[in-house]
């Protein structure tokens, strides 16, 4: 797929999940075959006010290419200024978040709240397009609620405003992350615009990845929650789409080794204090479904050191062998 002047060689991107898709996560997913990554969403107000946390969210590693920096907000001029700062990071594109359903984002007019004001969404997109030389992409939802499914109308306006690609999560804001994703709305958007359309939602295994491509006709797919605690999903998807072969999930020993490498990266980039506290959610995802996981939840919730993490990994491996 080509976005603006750069080409993405592969099948799937890592979605811009707040609090999850940080540098450590992105680098690991690239290692396992993600063809494109998008940063966590960054506040346009934070960037224009020189907030250190906002700046740190845009930091890209050497291996993170191609990558997009995602920004959010509801004021065209502020978003344009933020786009300039994002473009200066060395990314290949700037993505605008118009799909986040979180109350603290949508409640302030950003994210999925823009689905209720397509004209403002178009003005924001146009302002960002005019502000930078890089491609500007947009991530939207199917609509605000079941009575306002307007992704097709929105996509047409965004294309006219200069958007180089559009990602569609096939749920409304009200639906959050359930029920099952609506693939038909993604297909409708694909049929309505000429820019690349990226399908997003419920891609959790190789079969669902193939189904997204075949049902919607989308140009590319984006994987979010399906990659939580499973960065190897990209390799499994790539292999299946290329050869039709479904490779199994890694054995428990390898999964635990990947988990430890992930948390080590977290601590390297964020320090041990923050890294180990963020490790609690990631470790919970890595051991989901494995034998002995339920009994270890309390230990994971109190993680503070790498030694504790190694001990948990050993218990998971031992439980899988003895059972």
The catalytic residue positions are 100
> Cα–Cα distance between 166 and 295 in angstroms, integer?
43
Task: Please report, in angstroms and rounded to a whole number, the separation of the first and last CA atoms in the chain.
Answer: 45
For the chain, the farthest-separated pair of C-alpha atoms sits apart, in whole angstroms, at 61
3-state secondary structure of 62: coil
Which residues, 6 or more positions from 298, have their beta carbon under 8 angstroms from its beta carbon? none
> Cα–Cα distance between 200 and 183 in angstroms, integer?
9
> Cα–Cα distance between 274 and 276 in angstroms, integer?
6
- As a 3-state breakdown, the chain gives helix, strand, coil percent values, each rounded to 5, of 50, 15, 35
3-state secondary structure of 14: strand
Neighbour-count burial of 321, counting CB atoms closer than 10 A to its CB (0-12 exposed, 13-18 middle, 19+ buried) = exposed
Q: What residues are paired with 208 via a beta bridge?
A: none
> Cα–Cα distance between 40 and 32 in angstroms, integer?
19
């Amino acid at each position: 797929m080509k976005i603006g002047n750069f080409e993405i060689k592969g099948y799937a991107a890592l979605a811009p999940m707040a609090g999850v898709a940080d540098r450590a996560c992105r680098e690991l997913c690239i290692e396992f075959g993600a063809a494109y990554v998008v940063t966590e969403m960054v506040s346009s107000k934070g960037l224009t006010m020189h907030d250190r946390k906002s700046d740190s969210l845009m930091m890209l590693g050497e291996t993170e290419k191609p990558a997009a920096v995602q920004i959010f907000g509801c004021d065209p001029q502020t978003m344009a200024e933020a786009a300039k700062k994002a473009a200066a990071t060395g990314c290949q594109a700037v993505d605008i978040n118009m799909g986040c359903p979180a109350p603290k984002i949508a409640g302030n007019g950003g994210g999925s709240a823009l689905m209720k004001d397509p004209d403002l969404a178009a003005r924001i997109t146009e302002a960002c397009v005019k502000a930078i030389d890089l491609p500007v992409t947009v991530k939207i939802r199917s609509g605000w609620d079941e009575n306002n499914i307007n992704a097709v109308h929105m996509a047409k306006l965004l294309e006219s405003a200069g958007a180089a690609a559009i990602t569609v999560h096939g749920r409304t804001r009200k639906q959050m992350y359930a029920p099952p994703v609506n693939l038909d709305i993604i297909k409708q958007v694909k049929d309505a615009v000429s820019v690349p359309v990226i399908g997003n939602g419920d891609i959790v295994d190789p079969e669902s990845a193939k189904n997204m491509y075949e049902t919607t006709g989308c140009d590319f797919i984006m994987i979010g929650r399906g990659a939580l605690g499973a960065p190897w999903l990209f390799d499994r998807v790539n292999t299946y789409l290329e050869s039709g072969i479904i490779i199994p999930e890694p054995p428990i020993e390898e999964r635990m080794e990947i988990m430890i490498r992930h948390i080590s990266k977290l601590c390297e980039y964020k320090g041990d204090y923050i890294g180990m506290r963020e490790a609690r959610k990631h470790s919970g995802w890595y051991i989901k479904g494995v034998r002995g996981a339920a009994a270890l939840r309390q230990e994971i919730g109190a993680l503070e050191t790498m030694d504790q993490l190694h001990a948990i990994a050993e218990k998971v491996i031992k439980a899988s062998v003895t059972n």
